[in-house]
Amino acid sequence: MLDVDYYILRDLLSLLPGLHAFEVPFPASATEIRRSVVISSASLIPVTTTQIVLGSGTKAEVITCFPPSKSTNAQDFLGQILFGTTSNRKTCKKPVLAFLHGSFHASWCWSEQWMPYFASHGYPCVALSLQGTGGTPTAHLAASTVKIEKHVRDFDAFLRGLSDTDSQHCLGLELGNNPQIALVGHSFGGLTIMKWLEQYYNEENNDENEQQHIVIAGICLLCSVPPSGNGKMTMRFLRRSLRNSWTIIAGFVLKQAVTSKAVCRDLFFGGSEDDNGLSDDDIARYQSYFKRDSVAIIDIMDLSKQLPSAKMDKQSGRAPYVDKLPSTLVIAATDDFIVDEIGSRETAQYLGVNEPQFVDSPHDIMLGNKWQNGADTILEWLDELQMV
């Protein structure tokens, strides 16, 4: 948590022109003070978007958000916010959170709420935009699909680039040599992480990779597409509701999530009568992002031939590398229109987790006014994480 108390935050706000109306009211308890300070200060932590050439050769959009240095007075804290002075990330005792988005999204989805929030709790945050999004175009500009192996390759290069060890491929984020990393993946990003884990645990002992070893402190998958992909879920939806099945097909295949506010709300944000705090203007803004970030989508036909479930143990339903995994958290949303409970339980079983943790949220767990439900669940897990 940021080392700034209520009085410092109050003085800080008084230094900013036009922000006097936002002075934090005096809370009744120390817990309320801490909560108000973290939430208020998180909104001031800068988020940086850059394009970086990965070791894989892809020119990718990367978003970063780092904890400010600890400060004992408002003036110092203000300087950190305005001029970007951050803590010494190389000596940070908390893992780097590496976020990976799902279909129709890019790294922006983490930057609106979650990245500043986690940074305010002392966690360096980085997020990659996969090929086919506005921030990271495909290698072949006319491509309409991207194979999963390219996403895995880019994600691997991204994770290796977080370390300062290899000067040729490092991303220059100054996170130190072989920083400890907690992976956080949403929807299809979760399935991409599962495919990457296959490669990681198959190659981790190779001598040629030793100097670029990626240290995984934990894995968190959110509303993840299960290891068997979308096929079985689609059949379950067809049996339950033709209308809901059509909404999913129309939303993704026909891209009506980009053109219809009702479909967009149903799929991602809790439905047309949702209480998730998103106005029509918010939906229109997100739809403009979805349009930009779905120029090229994942190649489903190619993916179906190499789903993670193809390598699972048939009796236990678990991944072949499950005994090697660090602490793993699987989160499901109670109001998820896209990934059902059976799919979330399949993911948990595959990764050796007894049960997924359910939070009150629609599919886009990181956006809307329920974003903190999932974030706080992850924080509790991170607080108990045993560093490698």
* Same structural domain, 2 and 126: no
Q: From CA 97, how far away is CA 183, in angstroms rounded? A: 6
User: Can you give the pLDDT at residue 271?
Assistant: 84
Do residues 17 and 127 share a domain?
Answer: no
Q: Tell me, yes or no, whether 16 and 66 share the same domain.
A: no
The pLDDT assigned to 303 comes to 94
Tell me the pLDDT tens digit for each residue of 2-23.
444 433 444 444 444 444 333 3
Task: Confirm whether 376 is domain-assigned.
Answer: yes
Q: Is residue 281 part of a domain?
A: no
Any domain includes 188: yes
pLDDT tens digits, one per residue of 279-298: 999 999 999 999 999 999 99
222, 342: one domain: yes
Task: Examine residue 166 and state whether it is found in any structural domain, yes or no.
Answer: yes
Domain assignment present for 95: yes
Q: Are 212 and 225 within one domain?
A: yes
Task: Clarify whether residues 215 and 115 are in a common domain.
Answer: yes
CB-based burial label for 360 (10 Å; 0-12, 13-18, 19+): exposed
Q: What percentage of the chain exceeds 90 in pLDDT?
A: 68
Q: Whole-angstrom Cα distance, residue 137 to residue 131?
A: 5
Q: What is the predicted pLDDT for the residue at 71?
A: 54
Q: How many domains does the chain have?
A: 2
- Whether 288 maps to a domain, the answer reads no
- Domain extent for 340: 46-71+88-231+298-383
**What is the pairing mode between strands 215-222 and 180-186?**
parallel
Is the same domain home to 23 and 54?
no
Residue 118 placed within a domain: yes
Q: In this structure, are 30 and 106 located in the same domain?
A: no
121 and 199 together in one domain: yes
Domain membership of residue 214 (yes or no) is yes
Same domain, 306 and 197: yes
Position 241 scores a pLDDT of 87
Give the pLDDT of residue 15. Answer: 45
Q: Tell whether 205 and 114 lie within a shared domain.
A: yes
User: Do residues 305 and 346 share a domain?
Assistant: yes
Task: Write out the H or E segment, with its range, that includes residue 258.
Answer: helix 256-259
Strands 215-222, 145-146: pairing is unpaired
Residues of the chain with pLDDT under 70: 1-43, 70-91, 203-212, 273, 388
Is the distance from CB of 261 to CB of 285 less than 8 angstroms? Answer: no
